[in-house]
Chain A
Amino acid sequence: MRSTFINTLIEMARKNDNIYLLTADIGFSLFERFEKEFGERFINVGISEAAMIGIAAGLAISGKKVFVYSIIPFVTMRCFEQIRVDLCYQNLDVTIVGVGGGLSYSTSGATHQAIEDISIMRSLPNMKVICPADPFETKNAIMQIEDSKGPAYVRLNRNNEPILYNKNSDGFNIGKGIKLIEGSDIAIIATGNMLETAIRVSNKLYEDNISVKLISMHTIKPIDKNLIMECIEETKWIFTLEEHSVYGGLGSAIAEVICSNIYKIIKFKSFAISDVYTDCAGSTTYLRKQYGLDQESIVAEIKNLINTDVIV
């Protein structure tokens, strides 16, 4: 997805000479082409995330369309107060692109993992929060951000993610979820790097005649309330999938909408990372298993919950 990001940005920057890309010393073997082609519109500020946000703000006030980049904890948490004051309070046109959503940096330890970012970023007024699931969603998100105003946060995974949409897919809109599969028993709403798992989970449940309405909720803020209401209306269970803490991410955002609009019995469970940092290395597959976020665990838990469900 990071390749898709930079390829898309290069195309955009060729037509829009207000686009600037800032990095906090990250981007080896990724940004060289952008730097070579666009010269002074590429700025490596060094390992100075707070300054990077301030510089981005100054550029944006001066009329530039700015993208800032680093590994998620460093570009969201280290400089969170700068994002809050310089970007959100002033409602500036700066897009924060973070790489390494969830457990993507699985062998690096918790310092490089991002399990709190959706929670904190969506708490900021004026901030849009987008978690693309694949290169298709990434490309569209970045392109649409060019025409939108105000601050935005795009949560990338890493690289070599499979494309989950076929070539004819259209209809990506920031703020509007995508219904991949129509269904009526349960709804599964996934975001970012859990969409791939969600597709496989849905297919597995289909084998057991469970009809799944599958949704990619790529935009956490502003969230697609209408689509959530459709899930409440048409299904009995809503499950959310995210590679993020149980606190404050997709699940919380969906639960907020459900609780504010409840008119019938609806059951809910969020599959997310429990309130614990990883304490070992491993592949993403391995770590997901520790948190119960692998396909088998999710399928088993959903079937268990549905089968023991007693609808009054």
Chain B
Amino acid sequence: MLNNKEIKELSNTAIYIRRKVVAMAYESSSSHVGAALSMVDILTVLYFKRLNISPENFCNPCRDKFILSKGHGASALFAVLAKRGFFDEELLGRYSKNGSLLAGHPKKDSVDGVEVSTGSLGHGLAIGCGFAIVDKSYNRNSKTVVLLGDGECNEGSIWEAAMFASGRNLNNLIGIIDCNKLQGFGKSEEVTGLFPLDTKWKSFGWNVIEINGHDYNEIDRAMMLAYNNEKPTIIIANTIKGRGISFMENKLEWHYKSPNEQEYKLAMKELF
């Protein structure tokens, strides 16, 4: 259980991250702000509470590893990495601008803290399997966490990796689904037969935990349970696309739109 002080700190960090995410979207007129906002609370717990990843240990093979498989949430990852000290926060102001190392999707080695180039959906889980295999071969305690989108689970390559992971008992692999129920051109439950997700992952041999993806206690507890399981774990985090800004929440168009000046000011007022 997290105490009140910890929750307050995480909450403040999350607000700070959300302010950065919205600013990045506004200043670069770029897409995906809704998708980035829904994952902020998960990322905050991972990078500021749970994961053994820091600027100091980033080259140490015994660190934990994080893969943002839903790469279009990059702005949230960049804001978190900057806040955590992996690179200068000033770089965030250049997000998606000419010559910037921070593009719309993360690129490996562009800045410290980015393990894998992502942006095309369905790749991250298999890469995570590769990390997990090597960690196991060296008997390391490290974990690999892969953050997926629910729409991303439409991709067959996810299920290839899921089969492989459970078949090989990669219990040092943890998947988290940012399940915000909206995808590119419709509600996730309507586009294809994606749900129920929990029974699908269970039948693929994974340990399944379902949580409120905006509750710090639930996120932290799920991670703790995942650390101590015999099987790979999938945490289905129920979230809200655009979380934190009232007029963005649960709206598909905020996958694509960037806030105009008025919307930006309104958003900043809500995030304090």
Binding site for B on A (CB under 8 A): 40, 43, 45-46, 48, 50-64, 81-82, 85-86, 89-90
Contacts and interface: CB of A to CB of B under 8 A. Distances in A.
A54 B117 contact: no
A55 B117 contact: no
Nearest to B168: A43
A43 B108 CA distance: 25
The 3 A-B pairs at the shortest CB distance, nearest first, are namely A58-B130, A54-B126, A51-B160
8 contacts: A50-B156, A55-B126, A58-B127, A58-B131, A58-B133, A59-B133, A59-B134, A62-B61
Contacts of A82: 123, 126, 157
A10 to B, nearest CB: 19
A32 B117 CA distance: 34
A57 B130 contact: yes
A54 B130 contact: yes
Interface in B33-70: 61
A48 B130 contact: no
B117 A90 contact: yes
A62 B61 CA distance: 8
Contacts of A63: 61, 134
B126 A85 contact: no
Contacts of B127: 54-55, 57-58, 61, 86
Q: Binding site of B, secondary structure by majority: helix, strand, loop or mixed?
A: helix
Interface string B81-125: 000000000000000000000000001100000011101101111
Contacts of B163: 46, 48, 51
A51 to B, nearest CB: 4
A78 to B, nearest CB: 10
A90 B108 contact: yes
A267 B123 CA distance: 46
Nearest to A47: B160
Contacts of A52: 126
A40 B156 CA distance: 26
A51 B129 contact: yes
Interface of B: 61, 107-108, 115-117, 119-120, 122-134, 137, 156-157, 160-161, 163-164, 167
A72 B55 CA distance: 41
A85 B164 contact: no
Given A58-B127, A90-B117, A50 B133 contact: no
B146 to A, nearest CB: 10
Given A54-B123, A90-B116, A59 B160 contact: no
A62 B131 contact: yes
| Centre residue among A51, A56, A57 by max chain B CB count within 10 A | A51
B117 A56 contact: no
B134 A62 contact: yes
Nearest to B136: A40
Contacts of A85: 117, 119-120, 123
Contacts of A57: 116, 126-127, 130
B116 to A, nearest CB: 7
Contact of A61 (B123, B126, B131): B131
A60 B134 CA distance: 10
B160 A50 contact: yes
A125 to B, nearest CB: 13
B131 A54 contact: no
A57 B130 CA distance: 7
| Centre residue among B119, B126, B167 by max chain A CB count within 10 A | B126
Nearest to B167: A46
Contact of A53 (B125, B126, B167): B126
A61 B125 CA distance: 14
Contacts of A48: 160-161, 163-164
Given A46-B163, A48-B160, A51-B157, A58 B129 contact: yes
Nearest to A62: B134
| Centre residue among A46, A55, A86 by max chain B CB count within 10 A | A55
Given A50-B122, A63-B61, 8 more contacts: A46-B167, A51-B129, A53-B126, A54-B157, A58-B130, A61-B127, A85-B123, A89-B107
Nearest to A24: B160
Contact of A46 (B108, B119, B164): B164
A58 B128 contact: yes
Nearest to B157: A50
